[in-house]
Every structure is written in structure tokens, then in C-alpha cells.
Structure 1
Amino acid sequence: MNKTIAVLAGDGIGPEVMEQTIRVLNTIEKKFNHQFEVLQGLIGGSAYDKFGTHFPEATKFICQRSHAILFGSVGGPVNESHHEKWKNCEKNSILSLRKEFQFSSNIRPAKVYAELKDICPLKDSIIKNGIDIVIVRELLGDIYFGEHRTYIENQLRKAIDTAEYDEKQIEIVAHQSFKLALMRKNKVTSVDKANVLDTSKLWREVLTEIGKQYPTVTLEHMLVDNCAMQFFINPCQFDVIVTANLFGDILSDAAAAFPGSLGLMPSASFNEKGFGLFEPSGGSAPDIAGKNIANPIAQIMSLAMLLRQSFELIEEASCIENAVQKALQAGYRTCDISANKTETVTTEEMTNRIIEFI
């Protein structure tokens, strides 16, 4: 297979974990006789240093001519957020990418590895059957994109935030979730607030209609407040969760607590045409950048998602996923996932072990 990948490492730990991930890509390339053209682009603070903008045209061009985007992380130290280099860096980078390529759905897995149960905050009795959830979040509608207004009325400060959805927006993310369920356990849980919100009533109607096109997939509806409670009472019941932008933002961050570290959590965003961006769920972590201690697993697993979902290279993606699991089974830990902080491996060493298992 010949494919082109836009690689945007970004800032902080982005470049070092991306470097290790490209080593994994090269290993897969040789093992399975593929050819991947990697096009490196600047984004975030690193782009600002050269171009004076966080998302330069040169980077946009690289993305446009690629089959998928592998993204690192952007942003700088909190105490420097007022500097021009870092001001609105995340917004101008990742949100601009989402707008430019109309990424309409975000997919975020949350898996508790059996080998890492000790760092999951939930009791063994709750996670005994394992947690392996994928949250599909709609990205282009809802309250984030409606009217936002603050004003004075009758000498009182008032504010309005308008949530809007049309059926097309919902249909796109519905199909995404059902197709994903077909590759997993054939179950979709649609989360809404249909007992109160008209947008949720429409959401539920459209999900039900689309669900009829996937007869082998079980669809259930759940109110968001109940879902939040079920997350911590019986998370093992969930497989694919699909929900609106606001609810997805909150629930996916809550689910991020399950694995015990953001360094284990990949994610992907897709547009209606299937073009995808793949990135770790965590941030740029500038406090540990350059120390060779960052966990590369989220970035490496983002690569596995790219191979599986953009290139349909199922065996290759499974090979990476299995290698990560074997490295964890063998006891290798970066500092963020180690119960004993004195027995850890570096970013490079963890990658070495993963590559050996590949």
C-alpha cells in the first residue's frame, strides 16, 4: 500500500512521542511491505516561530494532499499563555483544523488494560469484566456553534447560548457510530436529554431512524445524567456511545479517568468523506518536554487507529495494539503508569519494547 500521512508533531512532548511513533510506522512499513510517505508540517507554537501563525498555509497544503493526519499536541506553559506565541494557540491550531476539514465526529476510546488495573480509580469489583468503551462525539453542532450573547435587561445581566442541530449533522455521526459498532460488539448507546431538550428529541428520532439500517446492531437510548452515573456504577455495560457535542465533551473527559493516564488514550476525528485526524487525548505537557519520560502509547495507538480506520489495515493495526499490550504485560512502565515510580522506562525504551513485540 502507498499512502501519504501528514505528520504535525506540534509542541511540548509532541515532537518526541511523534518521533517514536514514526519508528513504529517504519517497522510496520517493513514488516508488511507498505510504503508510507510522511510529510512533516509545523503547527502551534513551533509554527508561530517560523510563520507568525499557528496554522500556516504550508501546513494546510500538506494536510490537503495527504490521506490522513497524525497530530501531536500544541500549547505552551500556562504561565506564558499571555505571550503572542501561545495566545489562543490551541484554538488557532486544532479548532482551525476541525473547521478547515469539517471534522464532524470525534472518536475517543477508553480502555482499562488488565495489567494496569491498579491505576484505574474504580474498584476491582466494578471493573472485573473490563472496560472497553468508545465515545463518538458530534463536533460541529450544539451549543458551541449557536448564538452566544451577554446583555443587560431590566438592569440584570443576562446571557444566552443557543444549541442547534439539524438532522443531517446527526445522521453523519449516527452512521459513524453504527459502522464502528459493527467492528466491535454490535451495541450503540445514544446519550441525550430528550426529556427536556428539543435538540435531544430530534437526536433520538434520527438515531432511531438510522438504527433501522443496521439491524444487527442493538441501539439503546440513555439520558445523559443516568449515563454519567452508570459510568461509575457499571461502565462495563457500554461499548459504543454516541452523543452530542456538549455531552460528548463532558463524558469523554470523564471516561479519560478510567485508564488512569491520558498517556494511554488515543482519539480520532473524521469528516463526512471519511478523512481523519488522529491524536493523543492529552496535552503538550511542557513541564516534562525533552526529558524522555513522556508516555508514547497514546500517540502510537493513534497511529494504530489511523491504519485501521483510514487505511483499513486491520492486521497492521492489531499488530501495534497487541505489541502495546505485550509490553505492558511484560511489566514495562513509563512514570505516569507506574505504581512504583522508581522502576520506569523512558519514552524511547518503551517504544523499543513495543517495536520488539511487533
Structure 2
Amino acid sequence: MPKIVTLPGDGIGPEVTAAAVEVLREVAPDLTFEEHAIGGMAYDAHGDPFPQRTRDALADADAVLLGTVGGPQNSPWNSLPRPMRPESGLLALRKALGCYANLRPVRVQPGLEHLSPLKPELARGVDILIVRELLGGVYFDQDRKIDGDTAYNTMRYTTPEVERVARMAFWAAEQRKGRVTSVDKANVLEVSELWRRDVQALRDRDYRNIHLNHEYVDSVAMLIVSDPSRYDVIVTENLFGDILSDLAAVIPGSLGLMPSASLGDGAGLFEPIHGSAPDIAGKGIANPAAAIMSAAMLLRHGLKRSDAANQIERAVALALREEPTRDLGGKADTRTFTNAVLEAMGTPVG
């Protein structure tokens, strides 16, 4: 029986995670679930945003389902030393799992073009997969410091780090349209020169069937919203990927529609990319679609159950058309939308 570790986290995390688990239980009743703490709530309970008991639970997990981490800008958590802040728990979790590649699909479902702020002719048919390197760059490099009026962070990559995430992007492209855009800033950054060189070399050596294009990050930031259909798979480093994937999240209409999968050496980590939304936490109105679709990615990438994943994704698309949530201009709350998904899957709702 596959073991799923759930980490509801902070803010709306427990609400959307509960919805995702409910859907998973219906489509895959053989799964077992074990809940643990992470983030700010973990610090409050255990004095650590990534406590040892949570770390230990990952050892035999088949997949990890995460809610959200963090609090409001004025949260006392933000005044803690950096290693004790909620976000540090998330970074430590990714490192513990060896999740070096973050997959963020940006898809506009047929019939849902009206949810996008883009013109319908631009939004129609958009289907992008952003592959973000997740364990390197400025977020993880230890060469960092604030020294009086001077501060610095270091962006550093090695050839093995570039190759392993590029390989993930090429693998994904083989199952899609066969096109990869590698994003860098090679005109001004040496680390981007290395990135471009290594991605190109890997393609020429092992993936000659893939069409590879190199583009600068500032150009992509414009084109991803002005001509999104030009992209199939985008691969880039940690900081650029963080920014571009949040920018691209506007295309489907809401961060509440953006799931993700973080893959690497061990159990995969699956989570919505939206924040903890503390202003609406506990009100039962959060959009659980991204968490539920993250559960679908868990089934597809973590447990190799594509049929069950497809079933969930079809049900979510139908529920979005029939019971849109408040962030999408509808009236559905968390419970109503979850019920709509379950009904679309053929599950009776009492």
C-alpha cells in the first residue's frame, strides 16, 4: 500500500490539502496517508520549521503532498533567524527529498479561455510545461552575506546540476511536442554561459530529436504573456524559473489553478504554487483546484497511475466550468468545488 506523507502547512494549506486527500481517497482507495507538520505551524509546535519527526517520516514515503508554507508579511515568523523561518523549512524539505526539477504545467483548458486575462485568441490552446531547477542557484548557494552596507548572494551551477534538470526537460518534451526553450542571461552572466553550453551539449549528444531554442529571460518574460503558444517546454535555473512560472500563472486565470511536481532522487513532492493566503485562511473559500491537480500529478509522476490522474484532471476541468470558485468570478467555496469534482468523477456526495 503506497504511503503518502501529507504536510498541510500554514494558512489555507490544511483546507486545500484536505480537499486533495479526499479526492485521492476516492480515486485510489489503496493509498495510506500520514500527516506531519512543516513551516510556521511546525515552528510553533516543535521549534523547527522542518522538525525531525517530519524528516523521519519521509524515509519510507512513496510521495509527499504539501499544502502551503508561510504567513502574512507582519507575521512574527518573519522576524525569526532565517533558518527558523517557514520558507527555510520548505527549502530544507526539497533538499532532503533531492527534488532538483520542479515541473509547473501552465494549461488553458478548452472552454475556460474566458478565465484568462489574456485575449481569448492568445489564451486558447496554451499548454506550457516549465521545468525549473530547484536545488541550486542563489537560493541554495552558501556564499551569501550581509556585511554592513554590503550584501551578496551567489548564483552557482555545475555541469552535472545543469545536465540533470535539462535531461528532465528533454524527457518531458519527448512526450509532448518535442520543443524545448532553454532560458538564461548568457549575454551578461558567466553562469548562464555555462548553462547554455551544457544544455546544448546534452541535446546534441543524447536528444537530437528535440528542437532546442535558447532565449534570454527578459525576452521570455514578455513573450510568455504576449505569445504564449510559442512555448512547449521551458527549462531554466532556480531564480528565473521562480519568477517566470509565477508570471505564467496568470495565463489560466488564477494561481489557484497552478499545480506542481518536484522530482529528483527520492519521493516526489507535489504542491500548489499559490501562497498561504492568510487573509482567507479558515474561511472555507480557498480554491482547492491547484491542490487537487497536484494530487493528479502525484498519481502520474509519483505512482505511475496516469489513468487515475487523467480522471481527476477531467473532473477538475468540468467543475471549473460548472462551479467556479470566487477567485475565478464564481460563487463556489472550498466544499462546493470539492463536491463538484467528486460528482464529476462519479462519486456520490451526501
TM over 0.5: yes
> Which residues of 2 match residues 255-274 of structure 1 at below 5 A?
255-271=248-264, 273-274=265-266
Q: One-letter code of the match for 1:265? A: M
2:97/2:266 contact within 8 Å kept: no
**What is the percentage of aligned positions where both structures have the same residue?**
45
Give the corresponding residue for 2:23: 24
Query: Would you say 1:96 and 2:92 are equivalent positions?
Result: yes
Shift of 1:52: 2.3
Q: 1:173 aligns with which of 165, 169, 180?
A: 165
**Cα distance per residue 1:147-197 (max 9 Å; x no partner):** 334558xxxx55544322110000110111111112222211111122222
Farther-moved stretch of structure 1 (40-49 vs 254-263) = 40-49
Query: Would you say 1:140 and 2:135 are equivalent positions?
Result: yes
Give the corresponding residue for 1:356: 343
Give the corresponding residue for 1:290: 282
Corresponding residue pairs, total: 342
Shift of 1:82: 5.1
Give the SS at the match of 1:354. Answer: helix
Give the corresponding residue for 1:196: 188
Give the corresponding residue for 2:245: 252
Query: Would you say 1:224 and 2:217 are equivalent positions?
Result: yes
Runs of 5+ consecutive residues of structure 2 not aligned to the other structure: 346-350
Q: One-letter code of the match for 2:9? A: G
Runs of 5+ consecutive residues of structure 1 not aligned to the other structure: none
Q: 1:41 aligns with which of 15, 36, 49?
A: 36
| TM-score (norm. length: structure 1) | 0.89
* Alpha-carbon distance in 2 for matches of 1:65, 1:354: 30
* Alpha-carbon distance in 2 for matches of 1:221, 1:113: 27
1:45/1:85 contact within 8 Å kept: no
Q: One-letter code of the match for 2:74? A: N
RMSD of aligned alpha carbons = 2.1
* Alpha-carbon distance in 1 for matches of 2:291, 2:248: 18
| TM-score (norm. length: structure 2) | 0.91
Query: Would you say 1:337 and 2:328 are equivalent positions?
Result: yes
2:259/2:272 contact within 8 Å kept: yes
- C-alpha change, 1:12 and 1:218, in structure 2 (3 Å) is same
* Alpha-carbon distance in 2 for matches of 1:20, 1:160: 41
1:45/1:86 contact within 8 Å kept: no
Give the SS at the match of 1:288. Answer: coil
* Alpha-carbon distance in 1 for matches of 2:153, 2:281: 37
Give the corresponding residue for 2:74: 79
Query: Would you say 1:239 and 2:238 are equivalent positions?
Result: no
Query: Would you say 1:346 and 2:337 are equivalent positions?
Result: no
- C-alpha change, 1:346 and 1:150, in structure 2 (3 Å) is closer
Shift of 1:121: 2.0
* Alpha-carbon distance in 2 for matches of 1:143, 1:18: 29
Give the SS at the match of 1:184. Answer: coil
Give the SS at the match of 1:104. Answer: strand
Shift of 1:119: 3.2
- C-alpha change, 1:328 and 1:159, in structure 2 (3 Å) is closer
Q: One-letter code of the match for 2:337? A: M
- C-alpha change, 1:160 and 1:61, in structure 2 (3 Å) is closer
Q: One-letter code of the match for 2:219? A: N
* Alpha-carbon distance in 1 for matches of 2:338, 2:81: 30
* Alpha-carbon distance in 2 for matches of 1:268, 1:86: 29
Q: One-letter code of the match for 1:345? A: A
Q: One-letter code of the match for 1:57? A: Q
> Which residues of 2 match residues 316-335 of structure 1 at below 5 A?
316-329=308-321, 331-335=322-326
> Which residues of 2 match residues 305-324 of structure 1 at below 5 A?
305-324=297-316
Query: Would you say 1:122 and 2:118 are equivalent positions?
Result: yes
Shift of 1:261: 1.0
Shift of 1:244: 1.2
Give the corresponding residue for 2:348: none
- C-alpha change, 1:353 and 1:191, in structure 2 (3 Å) is same
Shift of 1:227: 1.3
Give the SS at the match of 1:287. Answer: coil
Give the SS at the match of 2:86. Answer: helix
Query: Would you say 1:302 and 2:301 are equivalent positions?
Result: no
Q: 2:57 aligns with which of 57, 62, 70?
A: 62
2:40/2:86 contact within 8 Å kept: no
